[in-house]
Amino acid sequence: MEKLDVRGHLRVMFAGDSIMAGINDTGGLRLPIMLGLQAMGVPARTVGEIDDGSSAHRVMYDLCAGNSQHQSIGGLTTAQLVSGGNYGGKTISPIETAIANLAPDVVFLAVGSNDAGTEQERSDGFVSLYTAIARARPGTAIVHVPPFASNNVANDFFNLDTNRETTARAARKAMETMAEDGLPGVVVDAHLHLAASVRRPGAAFNSATAHANAVFMDSAHLHPEGSAPIGCAAVAIALGMECAVVQAAIQSRSPHAPVPWNASATIATAGQTTLVASGPRKHRLGLLRLRNGGASAATVLLQTLRNPGAAATNVFTFTLGAGEVASLAWSRTEAPVAWVNEAWRLDVSGSGLNVEVNASGSSFWA
């Protein structure tokens, strides 16, 4: 595919299933692709019949200047994207109609995870999808990220999940058919770019969960650390440059600069107090100061809590006697870090509590 003409405002459509749409407020592949385009100076804006607005996928909305329109729904198949309809309470037009009406310059696709059938049947489905896009607006570029290997079968690194690898081969075969017709399109080999990722420091790794605690959230969806290199690869391929250039550009932009934070609370009843909420950044703890104004000792647990729903991880535990003050400070290199989508939390127990808490630190990307 030739380098896209990025003069003026590039109209971008994100289409596909939950890998593109995102789950748990991650923004899916949409987020790193939009951040990559912004970092490379491409004044892109999204088009689509679904608009998250500020009520959902707030990370995407905040970091991408309100560009939260898209054409992706969790559980969507290629055939459903082609035909349109109502899925999961959201309605989309047939892709040909949506392309004709919204006129994107480039369509980033992440679809195929929910498809059934043989490799040839899936390839035929992709050809139908690509053809519908090309027919609606000739010259529209297509960048397709097919399903990537999941953690369904545990081993020491990324397994080749048979169903998803079959779908990826089908996408490549369909794109070859597109190329023969002179239509602009490319398939992003996600496996190569995931292989460049490292496991998340501090994340448990064992044969039962494989990369679920590394780059995968579950058997299909990625942590931001996993989706970032794939999104950067999609942008790099679309713009005809090296993936590392896009990654470096994203990290140098202001949204990734450290943001200082402060938190304070008085705990009078045994329970938990969140110091820093989870979100798209990592949270470094620099200073934690506690004063026990109660009549008896208090047990304090500093925890990280991954969002959503996972059990808290205890970072350290200590006892604060009645009338005692504890002041814990860390250097930048030694400070404990709560990772992406994790919160800092204190769990305090005891009787007659009156524990004053002050904490400070910074939130960052790199």
- The model's pLDDT over 224-272, given as tens digits with 9 standing for 90+, comes to 767 878 888 899 888 888 887 888 888 776 556 678 889 998 998 888 8
Can you give the CATH number for the domain in which 272 is found? 2.60.120.340
How many C-beta atoms surround the C-beta of residue 340 within 10 A? 20
Which CATH number fits the domain that encloses residue 32?
Answer: 3.40.50.1110
Q: Which residue has the higher pLDDT, 277 or 327?
A: 327
More confident residue, 36 or 163: 36
281 in the same domain as 269: yes
Question: Phi and psi of 52, rounded to 5°?
Answer: -65, -30
For the ranges 270-274, 277-281, 316-320, the maximum mean pLDDT occurs at: 316-320
247: nearest Cα among 268, 229, 221, 225? 229
Whether the pLDDT of residue 172 is over 70: the answer is yes
Q: What one-character DSSP code corresponds to residue 222?
A: B
User: Of 255, 289, 304, at which residue does a domain stop?
Assistant: 255
Last residue of a domain, one of 221, 237, 255: 255
Instruction: Give, to the nearest 10 degrees, the angle between helix 162-180 and helix 119-136.
Output: 40
Q: Is the omega angle on the peptide bond into residue 201 within 30 degrees of 0, that is, cis?
A: no
- Tens digits of residue pLDDT in 77-109: 999 999 999 998 999 999 999 999 999 999 999
Half-sphere exposure (CA, 13 Å, Cβ side) for 186? 18
Q: Going by C-beta distance under 8 Å and a sequence separation of 6 or more, which residues neighbour residue 328?
A: 287, 288, 289
Residue the block writes with tokens 């995931």:
194
Please write the tens of the pLDDT for every residue from 186-216: 888 776 665 444 444 444 444 444 444 456 6
Q: How is residue 202 written in tokens?
A: 């501090």
- Name the residue range of residue 345's domain: 258-364
Note whether residue 2 is domain-resident: no
d(CA 301, CA 344): 11
Please provide the distance, in angstroms rounded to a whole number, between the alpha carbons at the two ends of the chain: 31
Q: Which region, left, alpha or beta, applies to residue 22 given φ > 0 means left and ψ of -120 to 50 means alpha?
A: left
State the Cα–Cα distance between residues 340 and 361, nearest whole angstrom: 15
The predicted pLDDT at position 230 comes to 84
DSSP state of 40: T
Strands 45-46 and 11-16: parallel
Give a yes or no: residue 5 inside a domain.
no
Sole residue written with tokens 């705990």: 267
- The mean per-residue pLDDT over the stretch 306-316 comes to 74
User: Hey, what are 92's tokens?
Assistant: 């989309």
Q: Does 268 lie in the same domain as 199?
A: no
